[in-house]
Structure 1
Amino acid sequence: MSSDEVYSRISKNNKHMGPIGHILLWIVFFLFVFFLLGCGLFTYYAATAPNISYNTLSSDNSTTIYDKNGKVVSRLGMQNRDYVKSKDIPDNLKNAIISVEDRHFYSDKGVDPVRIVKAAVSNVFGSGGLQGGSTLTQQLVKLSVFSTKSSDQTLKRKAQEAWLAVQVDKAYSKQQILEFYINKVYMGNSAYGMQTASEVLFNKPLSELNLSQTALLAGLPQAPVSYNPVNNPKYAKARRDQVLTAMVKNKTISQAEANKAMKENVQAGINKDTVNNTPTQKDEKYADAYISQVTQELTKKGFNLNAGNKVYTNLDMDVQKKMYDLANSSDSNIAFPDNKFQVGATMVDPNNGKVISMLGSRKQDVAFGLNRAVQTDRSSGSTMKPLMDYGPAIEYLNYPTYQTVKDTPYTYPGTNIQLNDFDNRHEGNITMRKALVESRNIPAIRTLETVGIDRATNFLKGLGMTFEQPLTLQNGIGAYISTEQEAAAYSAFANGGTYYKPYLIDKVVSPTGDTDSFETQSNNAMSESTAFMITQMLTGVINDSNGSGTAARISGLNAAGKTGTTKYPDSQAGSVPDDASMDSWFTGYTRNLSLSVWTGYDHPLEAGNYISQSQTEIAQQFYKEVMSYASSGLPNKNWTKPDDVVKTHTDGSDQYYIEGHAGDLKVDNANTEAQKVDQNKVVTNNNQNNNDQNKNNDNKSNNGTNASNEQNPSNNNQNNNNQNNQNNNNNNQNTQNNNNQNNNQNNQNNQNTQNNQNNNNQNNQNTQNNNNQNNNQNNK
């Protein structure tokens, strides 16, 4: 009967019915229409359902991971499945599964109409996806051809599951369906199928399990991680007992048998050495850390690992193998001190945030072990200075690269903690560029103090860095971040100011052919001028003779970067050498790639687990080898100066300032050529003084509590400071040997001999201590 005929009969009978009868008839009419629409929709959904076959039902549904070129990197689960035939599956296991999952399994036709209706109502009127409406056959269909993401549990998918479950029930016996299910479910510990899980947990086949162990296995598929008997014995016992209770209710075991099994320790017979330590395949060892992060990213995106998805990543397998071989091969160019010495490294494409490669360890055989590339419990040392100190100073205060900063004795406010530089010396007034190139700590903290913690914290937030505890001044020379975070943050310097959140997965293709493609979040972290000026200073870290990162220099490659080391706490004084470090970092970048490297020991307080001064260069050497390899064939572009940035030359280097914010540059430009000649004479005299001082001063002491322990070449080329004399006319730190020369350069000092004498008296102690080191440094 058509809807028109129904409507016609209702109209004819309207004359003989009261109001209640009319309402009831209309309700019947709308229910009939709704039923017809439902049937039509179900027919459409069924017609568009994917195909299902014996191979689909019986094959493994491992997650396949591909690199950026579409080559298989890993098949999670496929390598760890032992198929078991129905005749070898114990009846107790079959009964346990049916009792807890689908009591009407043997009598239904693949679907349970009551469950379907409840699930449909939940989907229409509820706020979540469809859950609790699946028979055992429907669960098998879902595992075989559908995504198991909760967001995919829609009315369409539920209808298709029901249709395909009916087809499967017609085509296969109940025993075959059980066989398919028992071999396909994910059981945790990288094991697919209950036979495999039995071997992993108990080191024996299903046929040798007792009732308690059988019930434990039957309950695992619902939540294999939560019910892991090793990690969560309390919840595992509760789930096992739930299965046993269901078996009693389904009359497959007696209450006495259930009570006896419930008394057994849930961990009895479990081989804890094999649980959570499944070995990787030989061809997966290169990308172990990367694969580990992919699985975590999949979970965060709502995908399950047992859905048979194809996961296409941003992994460059060639670079990944280079990283692995460099850290593990006996032919490596790097002389690691021992096998306990560890490396964590992440390479990112600075133009889109794609994680290209990731190394989580060296000399490690356990699959998915500690991934040191993403750990955030080690201080980053001086690699923090561009991010927290000097970057914000340029962004918020318009500092030029030649901004005068003070390298004078410093005590953290409100404490008696003194901060020192790597050489335990002070250079007075120097440029910001020089302070960063030589990685001097005191100017960095003084700059952060001027910027303010609030503005520095906001700047870091724009670079994807947030912290549970409020930051302090000490964090300006070291914070707890990962190589992944730092590679992504430095990428903003490389690309002109944009931060891209690092990500590993490009797209996921489900067994049905549905594709989820992914991009990343991005934001404008800083101005183009800030990024450019920081980059120009960081090129000096690598290329200047007095830079702290010269071991990372790659001939001919346009690159910038920063070193970082951290010292031992004062409580360890005497137990390690004075120049020992706990951590050593190098983070560098080109226009195409950004790479951050951490090196150190997992337990740095154990005897012998320290990094010597020479070993701090291992991070730079690792960077150099990997970046050289990865940059081969890529365009070697240099950075382009923004229109609002002005280039000049002072302090012996190319310097930059933002237009309209030249600072004290005008004083320097007022010098006459004659004054420049006199200045050169001063430079010549003081180079000799500095050489003499360097020969007599090898003290490379620690930098104070929580300070960076950065090491620089011994010859600091202090003659560059002479040019700062032209910028500072108020105070004169020169010794009497150079008073006449400085008087020639400073007209104000010529007019006031008495003031010069007073200044010399005030600085007399500093002059004696530093023996001509500070002859040409002027405090502004």
Structure 2
Amino acid sequence: MTRNSLRPERPTSSVHKPVFRRYRTFLALVLGLISFCCVGTLLVGLGFYSHLTSDLPSVEALQHYNPPVVSRLYTSDDQLMAELAYERRIYVPITAVPDKVKRAFIAAEDQNFYNHKGIDPMAIARAALTDVFARHGKRPLGASTITQQVAKVMLLNNNNLTLTRKAREALLAMRIEEALSKERILEIYLNGIYLGAGAYGVEAAAQSYFNKSLDQLDDAEAAMLGALPKSPTKYNPFLHPDTALWRRNWVLDRMHETGVISASAAEAAKQEPLIPQKRRRSGPLPTTEWFSEEVRRQLITQYGSDQALQGGLDVHTSLDPYLQQVSTHALQNGLMAYDRRYSGWRGAIQHLDTIKDWSAQLNKLTPPRGMLTEWRLAVVLTQAPVTVGWNEYKTPKTASLRAADITWSRRAHPLRPGDVILIEPAADGSVALKQIPQVQGATVTIDAHSGRVLALVGGWSFKQSQFNRATQALRQPGSSFKPLVYLAAMEKGISPSETFKDSPISFGDWHPKNYEHNNWGPTTLHDALRESRNLVTIRVAAYLGMAAVGDLAVKAGMVDSMPPYLPAALGAVETTVLKEASAYAAIANGGHVVKPTLVDYIQSPQGNILWRREGFSLNAPEGGLPQLTDQRPVLASPQSAYQIVTMMRDVIKRGTGFRAGIGITQPIGGKTGTSQDFRDAWFAGFSPDIVTVVWAGFDTPRSLGRNETGSRVSAPIWNTIMKAALSKLPQREFPAPEGITLARYNTGRIVAVDAFKNDQTPGASVPLHGFGAGTQSLTASDTGADMIPDSEEDMEIYSNNNAAPSSSSGYDTSNSTVSHSDSSSNSDIGVGGLY
């Protein structure tokens, strides 16, 4: 056998080699393509993942999550007065959430909450199959877990239904599960979710839908809350009761299936009717709106809007709710009395062409702003006698108008059928005719020793106008400024029995007069203050020098700055009701300046004291007894303040303020005030413990009418408020300080009792030497007499150039104010303060 015969034979066909090569090439191409696709997919996936996670929020924010929480204002007796918030949310720790509430939400939203790691694959698959085979183009069925909802609401804040958002949501959910416990996740969810009706979180929702706290809910109510996350509007029981009932029962079934409640309990809960109950009150406690708004404004000034409105602050105020209610009604009644007496009946609000179906027509009308809650819109049905019809909670009612109101209306605009009017139903079955006054007013009551504001009313109706006339309106105080002039005199050692001339005096074009246009000759300071004698006050101010009067007025807080002109001594300056109350407190409390405050203290959500009102400090020296230190600035000596108190008591007892004292047996003092042309009517007064100031006037200054003085318009309002305030306090006298002697003497007009210092002779009038004294003329430039402006316009130019705007710091009552002075060119400034 040869070597060649042993070799294998070569293929005879040339076809085999190219076929093999083709398969190998194809396989290489396929494998290369697959590898490319895998690498490409991996790169795309990594890129997509990088895109998803590049700006993904940090989960760390949730570890220290503090949701926006409503801030609450409380009255002095801890009644909830108002809530401040961008959104209504009441935070509740998970330990305080009842188990039935937690389980209701879990059963409805995420039955596997305690088992998954952020996403629920089974729920996703179930939702996907349902979307493909059963939804037919409807919005895709959701499969978000509670953790995913937390990620969406708290971190992503995005409701766009896209693949990218869902992927980011899932990634975040898994990260959240790694960082937080299940209970912490559930706590964030239950406090952060929006549940409709303006409620964020389960506690706010429980109050909004059932007027209950969480711990008061039964199974059916808990299930109703659990039904809301799916669609807070669609399942709102107020808006869609049938749909809400179906969804509630569905949640009860889920609660049974997950073992939260038994079958019998679920069935019993499903049989309960769904009757939502609105919160008893939405908005500030009635009559406290101005007080609440002033506190809100101060909180924002001090802390900024975010912390004030969503920082969960507990703000404990000084407001006395009883006194606030009395003050509101007293002011309203006083303004109505003036309006009825002076303005008369102004006619119907509008007129209906036909009184057929009058009840339905009334329901379509919008009540006028300023209409009180106890009033009703009514229509005149017959003219003789006058009968009216109105709707009382959808029930038509009719009654006769009171005879006195018929007479009142007949004088100017007789009522006729179809007239739409305002009425107030009475208990005896009749109705009283009402109209919204055009005049406005304000009143403030403060604690004389601490400055705590006990009541504050800024006008006729907060709904009509939110402008706060107690803190924002700058008005001329008229003669209610005079006690500060006399206090400055007491500080200079002048006694109440000192006499000054009550006789005509002129300065260029300025010719001041007394209100009565008569003159008494030599007059004691006691009589001059009691009867508000302008000419004596001018001479006293000139004798002291306007610098001394102005310094005392600024220090007392009556004004921010004061022109050195004699008309200012008669009240030709501008102040607010609250500032005047502060100044009068310094007289009542023995000479200490107080800073009006509306807030006692503020707590953080954790209960820490953030701010507290100051006034006194307690020091405990080593080895000694604790000592209480009075930190209030001193305005005047206790002796001088007591002398003014004694004189002002006679203002009410026998002077211009007699209407203020009717029916009050406790010791009180006060002063009337009426500005130029009867534009402002004041009464300011005090007891040993409290100060009340009342103002009335038009927003755009114009005359209240001749003889419409502080005594006639404002003193009766003050009387009503002080009766209520004093009824809660023990009766006590103004404490007489050391170095004071009370003496009875004849003033030349009455027998008076005044207070005299040790170096003063009771009842004596010591000849004074200097400008303004009884025997000398007023010509010296150092009194300010040579700088008296020729017109009221000049006074206002000076005032506008020199008055510093108020600013708010901490929780005092400083405020931006609005001047309501009305300039009149070439007009005589007249008497400045009248009465």
Q: TM-score scaled by structure 1?
A: 0.52
The alpha carbon displacement at 1:375 in A equals 2.5
**Identical positions, percent:** 21
CA contact (8 A) 1:381 1:564 kept: yes
Q: Distance in 2 between matches of 1:289 and 1:467?
A: 23
**Match status 1:64 vs 2:72:** yes
Match of 1:476 among 569, 575, 579: 569
CA contact (8 A) 2:679 2:704 kept: yes
Identify the range of structure 1 (513-522 vs 583-592) with the bigger mean alpha-carbon deviation.
513-522
Report runs of 4+ in structure 1 exceeding 6 Å deviation: 49-53, 78-83, 85-89, 104-111, 175-179, 181-187, 329-335
Match of 2:440 among 335, 342, 347: 342
Q: Distance in 2 between matches of 1:566 and 1:67?
A: 35
Task: Give the equivalent residue in structure 1 for 2:98.
Answer: none
Match of 2:690 among 578, 589, 593: 593
CA contact (8 A) 2:496 2:524 kept: yes
Task: Give the equivalent residue in structure 1 for 2:315.
Answer: 311
Matched to 2:158, the amino acid is K
Matched to 1:586, the amino acid is F
The alpha carbon displacement at 1:74 in A equals 1.2
Match of 2:601 among 493, 496, 507: 507
Task: Give the equivalent residue in structure 2 for 1:402.
Answer: 497
Offset from partner CA, 1:103-149 (integer Å, 9 cap, x none): x99988999xxxxxxxxxxxxxxxxxxxxxxxxx9xxxxxxxxxxxx
The alpha carbon displacement at 1:358 in A equals 0.3
The alpha carbon displacement at 1:542 in A equals 0.5
Task: Give the equivalent residue in structure 2 for 1:531.
Answer: 641
**What SS does the corresponding residue of 1:94 show, helix, strand or coil?**
coil
CA contact (8 A) 1:349 1:594 kept: yes
Task: Give the equivalent residue in structure 1 for 2:589.
Answer: 495
Task: Give the equivalent residue in structure 2 for 1:358.
Answer: 456
**What SS does the corresponding residue of 1:357 show, helix, strand or coil?**
strand
**What SS does the corresponding residue of 2:692 show, helix, strand or coil?**
strand
CA contact (8 A) 1:491 1:499 kept: yes
Query: Quick check: which one's strand share is greater?
Result: 2
Q: Distance in 2 between matches of 1:707 and 1:356?
A: 34
Q: Distance in 1 between matches of 2:506 and 2:599?
A: 47
CA contact (8 A) 1:401 1:656 kept: yes
**Match status 1:436 vs 2:529:** yes
Q: Distance in 2 between matches of 1:342 and 1:335?
A: 10
CA contact (8 A) 2:440 2:699 kept: yes
The alpha carbon displacement at 1:288 in A equals 0.9
Task: Give the equivalent residue in structure 2 for 1:707.
Answer: 831
Match of 1:656 among 750, 755, 758: 755
CA contact (8 A) 1:353 1:520 kept: no
CA contact (8 A) 2:290 2:462 kept: no
CA contact (8 A) 2:601 2:609 kept: yes
The alpha carbon displacement at 1:81 in A equals 8.1
Offset from partner CA, 1:634-690 (integer Å, 9 cap, x none): 12111233232233323121233222233982889xxxxxxxxxxxxxxxxxxxxxx
**What SS does the corresponding residue of 2:714 show, helix, strand or coil?**
helix
Q: Distance in 1 between matches of 2:178 and 2:727?
A: 54
CA contact (8 A) 1:311 1:507 kept: yes
Task: Give the equivalent residue in structure 1 for 2:486.
Answer: 390
**Structure 1 unaligned regions, length at least 5:** 1-45, 97-103, 112-136, 138-163, 193-204, 208-279, 569-580, 669-702, 712-780
Matched to 1:556, the amino acid is T
Q: Distance in 2 between matches of 1:470 and 1:709?
A: 16
**What SS does the corresponding residue of 1:665 show, helix, strand or coil?**
coil
1:239-250 residue pairs with structure 2 within 5 A? none
Q: 1:76 to 1:650 in 2, by over 3 A?
A: same
Task: Give the equivalent residue in structure 2 for 1:288.
Answer: 289
Greater C-alpha radius of gyration:
2
Task: Give the equivalent residue in structure 1 for 2:676.
Answer: 567
Q: 1:381 to 1:166 in 2, by over 3 A?
A: farther
**Match status 1:422 vs 2:423:** no
Q: Distance in 1 between matches of 2:701 and 2:673?
A: 16
**Match status 1:94 vs 2:170:** no
Q: 1:555 to 1:469 in 2, by over 3 A?
A: closer
Matched to 1:411, the amino acid is S
Offset from partner CA, 1:45-86 (integer Å, 9 cap, x none): x9xx99989xx74xx721111111111111223886899x97
Q: 1:329 to 1:639 in 2, by over 3 A?
A: closer
CA contact (8 A) 2:664 2:723 kept: no
Task: Give the equivalent residue in structure 2 for 1:370.
Answer: 467
1:609-624 residue pairs with structure 2 within 5 A? 610-614=704-708, 616=710, 617-624=712-719
Q: Distance in 1 between matches of 2:830 and 2:562?
A: 16
Task: Give the equivalent residue in structure 2 for 1:558.
Answer: 667
Q: Distance in 1 between matches of 2:478 and 2:293?
A: 27
Q: Distance in 2 between matches of 1:600 and 1:110?
A: 66
Offset from partner CA, 1:727-765 (integer Å, 9 cap, x none): xxxxxxxxxxxxxxxxxxxxxxxxxxxxxxxxxxxxxxx
Q: 1:51 to 1:524 in 2, by over 3 A?
A: farther
CA contact (8 A) 1:377 1:481 kept: yes
1:107-506 residue pairs with structure 2 within 5 A? 167=180, 172=185, 281=282, 284-302=285-303, 304-328=308-332, 337=341, 339-366=437-464, 369-387=466-484, 389-395=485-491, 397-412=492-507, 415-468=508-561, 470-478=563-571, 479-506=573-600
Q: 1:92 to 1:64 in 2, by over 3 A?
A: closer
Task: Give the equivalent residue in structure 2 for 1:262.
Answer: none
Offset from partner CA, 1:555-608 (integer Å, 9 cap, x none): 31210000000123xxxxxxxxxxxx1110000100121001101111233xxx
Q: Distance in 1 between matches of 2:79 and 2:638?
A: 37
The alpha carbon displacement at 1:177 in A equals 11
Offset from partner CA, 1:258-304 (integer Å, 9 cap, x none): xxxxxxxxxxxxxxxxxxxxxx9465330111111211232344352
The alpha carbon displacement at 1:550 in A equals 3.7
Q: Distance in 1 between matches of 2:191 and 2:87?
A: 22
**Structure 2 unaligned regions, length at least 5:** 1-59, 92-145, 161-167, 206-230, 234-280, 342-435, 616-631, 768-826
Count of residue correspondences: 459
Q: Distance in 2 between matches of 1:505 and 1:384?
A: 27
Q: 1:526 to 1:375 in 2, by over 3 A?
A: same
Q: TM-score scaled by structure 2?
A: 0.49
Identify the range of structure 1 (644-653 vs 373-382) with the bigger mean alpha-carbon deviation.
644-653
**What SS does the corresponding residue of 1:511 show, helix, strand or coil?**
coil
Q: 1:440 to 1:610 in 2, by over 3 A?
A: same
Task: Give the equivalent residue in structure 2 for 1:718.
Answer: none
Matched to 1:421, the amino acid is N
Q: Distance in 2 between matches of 1:443 and 1:110?
A: 85
**What SS does the corresponding residue of 1:599 show, helix, strand or coil?**
strand
**What SS does the corresponding residue of 1:304 show, helix, strand or coil?**
helix
Q: Distance in 2 between matches of 1:182 and 1:473?
A: 65
The alpha carbon displacement at 1:182 in A equals 12
CA contact (8 A) 1:383 1:585 kept: yes
Matched to 1:390, the amino acid is Y
Identify the range of structure 1 (456-465 vs 480-489) with the bigger mean alpha-carbon deviation.
456-465
Query: Quick check: which one's helix share is greater?
Result: 1
Match of 1:540 among 650, 675, 680: 650
Q: Distance in 1 between matches of 2:334 and 2:540?
A: 45
Q: Distance in 2 between matches of 1:558 and 1:335?
A: 31
The alpha carbon displacement at 1:410 in A equals 1.5
